Amino acid sequence: GQQLNQSPQSMFIQEGEDVSMNCTSSSIFNTWLWYKQDPGEGPVLLIALYKAGELTSNGRLTAQFGITRKDSFLNISASIPSDVGIYFCAGLYNFNKFYFGSGTKLNVKP
């Protein structure tokens, strides 16, 4: 199967800071998704990206479909305590199957 590398694995930030995380692969993907999972809950879809170079926002969240189609980035601006959770990427390979990253765990200090 295809490998998606998410980084960083975890991060500790201060409330109000901006956050960046990414998902990379050696393969080309056709769609990128970003999910957020609160502790003890199921993942919730945040943003879907369908075209190389696409930049999409959802409130304080902004995600980009990398121009090489091998990566995607998620930024969170002005973080707040409720941003705590695990952020997953998922990439659609060959229009055939979604592969999931292993997640970035975000901790926000008030």
CB of 86 to other proteins, least distance (A): 10
Say how many Å lie between the first and final Cα of the chain, rounded: 40
Please pick, from the candidates 19, 21, 23, 33, the single residue that binds other proteins as defined by CB under 8 A.
Answer: 33
Please pick, from the candidates 26, 40, 59, 110, the single residue that binds other proteins as defined by CB under 8 A.
Answer: 40
Of 92, 75, 88, the residue nearest 27 (C-alpha): 92
Of 102, 79, 88, 84, the residue nearest 43 (C-alpha): 88
- The torsion angles phi and psi of 79, rounded to 5 degrees, stand at -60, 150
CB of 39 to other proteins, least distance (A): 10
Please pick, from the candidates 20, 27, 45, 58, the single residue that binds other proteins as defined by CB under 8 A.
Answer: 45
Binding site for other proteins (CB under 8 A): 31, 33, 35, 40-45, 48, 88, 92, 95-98, 100-103
